[in-house]
Amino acid sequence: MAAPMLRLCCPGRRWALACIDGCSRHRRGAPNGCTSSRKRGQSSVAQQPFITAQKPRKGEHEWAAVVGLEIHAQISSKSKLFSGSQVHFAAPPNSLVSFFDASLPGTLPVLNRRCVEAAVMTGLALNCRINKKSLFDRKHYFYADLPAGYQITQQRLPIAVNGSLVYSFCAGKNRSQVINKTARVKQIQLEQDSGKSLHDDLRSQTLIDLNRAGVGLLEVVLEPDMSCGEEAATAVRELQLILQALGTSQANMADYEIQRQINELENGGEILNETRSFDSKLGCTIPMRDKEGKQDYRFMPEPNLPPLLLYDTESLPAGADPQQVIDIDRIREQLPELPSVTREKLVQQYGMLPEHSFTLLNEVGLLEFFQNVMKETRAEPKKVTSWVLNTLLGFLKQQNLAVSESPVTPSALAELLNLLDRKAISSSAAKQVFEELWRNEGKTPAQIVSEKKLELMQDQEALEQLCHAVMEGHPQVVMDVKKGNPRAINKLIGLVRKVTLSRADPTVIKEILEKKLAS
């Protein structure tokens, strides 16, 4: 089974604010504040607005946020959850729409095996209990990009429940202390994505693209165990990693949303349970859709889909058609290494700092890049880490490129680091070579080194002559050194390097200069 089955799409978030009572360690003010503490967020299926038991007056006390999340991860599968239409990003509008997706009357859903496997795999990775029997339900609401008038989801009995997501972040002065936190996973459910509405305000038209309608989603519901946007963002990032995801997440949405809810509550408003999306242009979250005021989804069992039954090795019926059954134990065996384990291994194997292991994993493809460089170079892991995390990543970030788009291949970097390792070039020359490689003109590091004459000057005599010439040319600096200015020698070193076109090892230059100055 291909490991990267899942990709995260716009996370819908669920927020709840708990007013913490007076004895709480969170207390920072008012002694007799609101005493209701509601830490449990609304479930994914909740329809009621979240209202605290007692509305506080403005400024009377402070609020502590609890953050729960509903994350919708688009399942990467060839076809949709209940139809044979292909799943492709950026296909021409309405080109991937089956009769079922367009809700033609008489069409029926047929469950996609791959999507079920993806859900089971995710459930296992998140330490969930996999329900051997799960059910599908219809969730009704009218919206132009929901052709059937309902979404098929798993409200009553989802495929996986009661898991946990362990996420860690680096804290402390040098970000060297790793802190582990756990968010409970309430449930994971399979459901359909909706289509897209494109509003043409000019002509007051709405255009509907159903390519996405019916694509399989995993809704991962995290209990409100996170206390700030950063925690939530870290948890989402960790989940993304676990899902071998592609997209990026908008961490700044988190704090904005908490503030919005605080303002709302302090102004006497009520927080409605709604899906909001982050608008990066406006810098705020906006309601994703008008869910018809007080929404009642009128849930109903989906009559066209029998209960979804899963098996383990023990319960697998004898002679069952392997195409018709899903064996949880088999999927468990195929689980790939999870990011926490990978990070642990990196620290163990390469003596890497924990924070570096995080960075390597956080960028998609970066770890693989690192490992490929490691395979081909004799350079120290520390050196490789530094080059990958500082130089390569810096260049990528600057140009806003993904690792896969890097013009410098792992082999090229490995070769470059080999040259450096055997002291054929200086570090600064290496940087220069890297820049050349980045321009991607099809040259190998060795070619660049020889063309640009970047080899380290091995000729001691020639170097001594150059040093001599520099000293001759800058008597004032020499005087400064002799007067005891310790920094002046650096200036001389720099001048020598300049005339050597940075090809000489600064330590060697220093040695020569010191010798000469002492004489």
Partner 1 sequence: MQFDQSKCSVLKGFVTIKDGCAHVVPAAAVDLYFCSVSPGPCGGRLSTRTMLGRTLREVSAALKQGHITPTELCQKCLSIIKKTKFLNAYITVSEEVALKQAEESEKRYKKGHSLGDLDGIPIAVKDNFSTSGIETTCASNMLRGKGYVPPYNATVVQKLLDQGALLMGKTNLDEFAMGSGSTDGVFGPVKNPWSYSKQYREKRKQKSHCENEDSNWLITGGSSGGSAAAVSAFTCFAALGSDTGGSTRNPAAHCGLVGLKPSYGLVSRHGLIPLVNSMDVPGILTRCVDDAAIVLGVLAGHDPKDSTTIQDPVKPFVLPSLTDVSKLCIGIPKEYLTPELSSEVRSLWSKAANLFESEGAKVIEVSLPHTSYSIVCYHVLCTSEVASNMARFDGLEYGHRCDIDVSTEAMYAATRREGFNDVVRGRILSGNFFLLKENYENYFVKAQKVRRLIANDFVTVFNSGVDVLLTPTTLSEAVPYTEFIKEDNRTRSAQDDIFTQAANMAGLPAVSVPMALSNQGLPIGLQFIGRAFCDQELLTIARWFEKQVQFPVIQLQELMDDCSSVFENEKLASVSLKQ
| Residue 190 vs 477, nearer CB to partner 1 | 190
Interaction residues for partner 1, span 196-235 (CB under 8 A): 206, 208
Provide the minimum distance between the beta carbon of 108 and partner 1 in the complex, in angstroms, as a whole number. Answer: 5
338-377 binders of partner 1 (CB under 8 A): none
Q: Is 133 in the site for partner 1 (CB under 8 A)?
A: no
By CB under 8 A, residue 51 contacts partner 1: no
Give 108 or 469: the residue with its C-beta nearer to partner 1: 108
Q: How long a stretch of residues is the chain?
A: 519
Using rule CB under 8 A, residue 81 touches partner 1: no
Residue 517 in the binding site for partner 1 (CB under 8 A): no
Burial of 70 (0-12, 13-18, 19+ CB in 10 A): buried
293, 303, 319, 484: which one contacts partner 1 (CB under 8 A)?
Answer: 303
Pick the closest to residue 118 from 1, 19, 198, 21 (CA basis): 1
For residue 317, the 8-state DSSP code is P
Burial 259-270 (b: 16+ CB within 10 A, else e): eebeeebbeeee
Other Cβ atoms closer than 10 A to 213: 28
Q: Is the Cβ of residue 111 or residue 178 nearer to partner 1 in the bound state?
A: 111
Q: Is 27 exposed, middle or buried (0-12, 13-18, 19+ CB in 10 A)?
A: middle
Give the one residue of 31, 32, 59, 142 binding partner 1; rule: CB under 8 A: 142
Which residue stretch of 145-153, 393-401, 407-415, 472-480 sits at the interface with partner 1 (rule: CB under 8 A)?
A: 145-153
CB-based contact 141:300 (threshold 8 Å): no
Q: Which is nearer to partner 1, 19 or 213 (CB)?
A: 213
Task: Give me 102's structure tokens.
Answer: 């367009």
Nearer Cβ to partner 1, position 208 or 517? 208
Pairing of strands 308-309, 133-134: antiparallel
Please tell me whether residue 288 binds partner 1 under the rule CB under 8 A: no
Site for partner 1 in 415-474 (CB under 8 A): none
Measured over all CA atoms, what is the biggest interatomic distance in the chain, rounded to whole angstroms?
99
- Binding of partner 1 by 305 (CB under 8 A): yes
300 binds partner 1 (CB under 8 A): yes
Q: Give the amino acid at 289.
A: R
CA separation for the pair 410, 375 (Å, rounded): 9
324 lines the binding site for partner 1 (CB under 8 A)? yes
End-to-end CA distance of the chain: 72
The pair of structure tokens assigned to 366 is 């970066």
Among 299, 311, 395, 438, contact with partner 1 (rule: CB under 8 A): 299
Q: Specify the amino acid at residue 79.
A: S
Q: Tally DSSP H helices, then E strands, for the chain.
A: 16, 16
Comparison of 149 and 494: residue with beta carbon closer to partner 1: 149
Near partner 1 by CB under 8 A, which window of 112-120, 236-244, 294-302, 364-372? 294-302
- Give yes or no for residue 47 binding partner 1 (CB under 8 A): yes
Q: Which is nearer to partner 1, 270 or 290 (CB)?
A: 290
Site map 99..118 versus partner 1, x via CB under 8 A = x--xxxxxxxxxx-------
Segment near partner 1 (CB under 8 A); pick from 64-72, 98-106, 249-257, 502-510? 98-106
Binding of partner 1 by 149 (CB under 8 A): yes
The torsion of the CA quartet 236, 241, 244, 246, rounded to 10 degrees, works out to 60
